[in-house]
Amino acid sequence: MLHTKYFTALLLAIGLLRFGSAIEPLTMIGIGAAAGAGWFKFDSLKKHTYCRFNECCMAPYLKNDIDGLSRKLKQNLFGQHIVQNTLINALRGHLANIESSRKPLVMCFDGTTGTGKNYVADFIISSLYEKGMASNYVYKYSSDFWIINSPHEVTSKLITTVKKAINACPYSLFVFDETQKMPKRALDSLVSLLDHHSSSSEFDYTKSIFIFLSNSAGVQIAQRLKSLIDSGRFRDDTTLVDFERITEVAVYNMLGALEHSDLISSHVIDHYIPFLPLEERHAKQCIQKEFEMYCPGRMTKENINQVSRLAITLDDSGMFQNNGCKRISKKVEAMCYS
């Protein structure tokens, strides 16, 4: 009996004939036969045939450009030294040991609105996957997923979707946005998939990445930072140790999908990454970046200060912003055409 991969390889070759003159039919059939005879490795055949025209779970579609991600964060993310250090080390460690990994990488990003959580998640996606958000291996859930489905449907669809995704590519990425708006313990069904040795003969979750975005601990993070600064610490000297525990406790006790969640009590979340509240100086860095992008000729000190007055409001402490860099881009766009 001929090996199953012979038929698969031959089907790959013949199936690619639909791309016309890109590859000669006889050449493709010959490659298929060669693969069946053992002259080529199956993965190599797939890479040079099917994967030339379709996204596959391999390089170059999985690019894992952590150095590029580090550069993007340094150039575009302001006031978040803890995020940059913790995230890069976490991703680099996971990817360096991914073939021997015992569990997926699970992270929780938490902080007030406009501090960069989605911004960073998008940078991660574009740095790990050649097709970015258009990749078949990237899944992003918002609170709408819970609104349009009943709790039972949510659990069923979530598990089915994750299993299907992992079956297609073990190196998939899952982002859950606005977890504070999701029903209490809505994500508990994922616990068994995120724990150590979370693989079976059919599914291997250990190579994937899960990221949960939340605003739940934003107030506590801001209060902690102000307390440290008032005590004489410099903002840039604070570390993950100063915030991780209070972030974990706040997320566990605040309303949302992670409230009293098994994801927290089972300790499957590897890193609670705090996004610190931004100060006015950080917002002005955001404003400058937007001017550089849209109309560098209009980037004057006067225009930067004007956008700052329009877009920035401070909290009761007078130290931190209420909305981060969220409203800045449209204010700058408008000024570019004023």
Helices within the chain (DSSP H only): 4-15, 25-36, 42-48, 66-76, 81-96, 117-128, 144-147, 151-168, 191-194, 218-230, 244-253, 262-265, 280-294, 301-311, 328-336
pLDDT at 145: 79
Q: Looking at residues 144-166, what average pLDDT do you find?
A: 82
* Confidence bin at 154 (pLDDT 50/70/90): confident
> What's the CATH superfamily of 66-275?
P-loop containing nucleotide triphosphate hydrolases (3.40.50.300)
**Rounded to an integer, what distance in angstroms lies between the CA atom of residue 142 and that of residue 178?**
6
pLDDT in tens, 53-75: 899 999 999 999 999 999 999 99
Three-class DSSP category at 221: helix
CA 77 from chain centre, in angstroms, equals 15
Q: Which region among 32-46, 47-61, 222-236, 307-321 has the lowest average model confidence (pLDDT)?
A: 32-46
Task: List the 271-275 sheet strands across, edge first.
Answer: 138-141, 173-176, 209-214, 105-111, 271-275
pLDDT at 20: 44
Domain ranges in the chain?
Answer: 4-52, 66-275, 280-336
In angstroms and rounded to an integer, the radius of gyration of the C-alpha atoms of the chain is: 24
Asked whether the predicted pLDDT for residue 133 surpasses 90, the reply is yes
Q: Looking at residues 118-145, what average pLDDT do you find?
A: 95
Q: Under a CB-based contact definition with an 8 Å cutoff, are residues 103 and 197 in contact?
A: yes
pLDDT in tens, 227-267: 999 999 999 999 999 999 999 999 999 989 999 999 999 99
Q: Measuring CA to CA, which residue among 170, 241, 155 is closest to residue 203?
A: 170
- How many residues does the structure list for the chain? 338
Asked whether the predicted pLDDT for residue 41 surpasses 80, the reply is no
Q: Under a CB-based contact definition with an 8 Å cutoff, are residues 139 and 173 in contact?
A: yes
**Rounded to an integer, what distance in angstroms lies between the CA atom of residue 225 and that of residue 204?**
39
Asked whether the predicted pLDDT for residue 214 surpasses 60, the reply is yes
Q: Under a CB-based contact definition with an 8 Å cutoff, are residues 261 and 188 in contact?
A: yes
Three-class DSSP category at 109: strand
E strand or H helix at 79: none
More confident call, 186 vs 252 = 252
Asked whether the predicted pLDDT for residue 163 surpasses 80, the reply is yes
Query: Residue 87, exposed/middle/buried by CB under 10 A (0-12, 13-18, 19+)?
Result: buried
- Taking all residues of the chain, what is their mean pLDDT, rounded to a whole number? 87
**Rounded to an integer, what distance in angstroms lies between the CA atom of residue 74 and that of residue 197?**
34
pLDDT at 7: 47
pLDDT at 66: 98
**Rounded to an integer, what distance in angstroms lies between the CA atom of residue 217 and that of residue 221?**
6
Query: Residue 147, exposed/middle/buried by CB under 10 A (0-12, 13-18, 19+)?
Result: exposed
pLDDT at 155: 78
More confident call, 35 vs 227 = 227
**Rounded to an integer, what distance in angstroms lies between the CA atom of residue 238 and that of residue 140?**
31
In one letter, which amino acid is 287?
I
Return the structure tokens found at 324: 């981060």
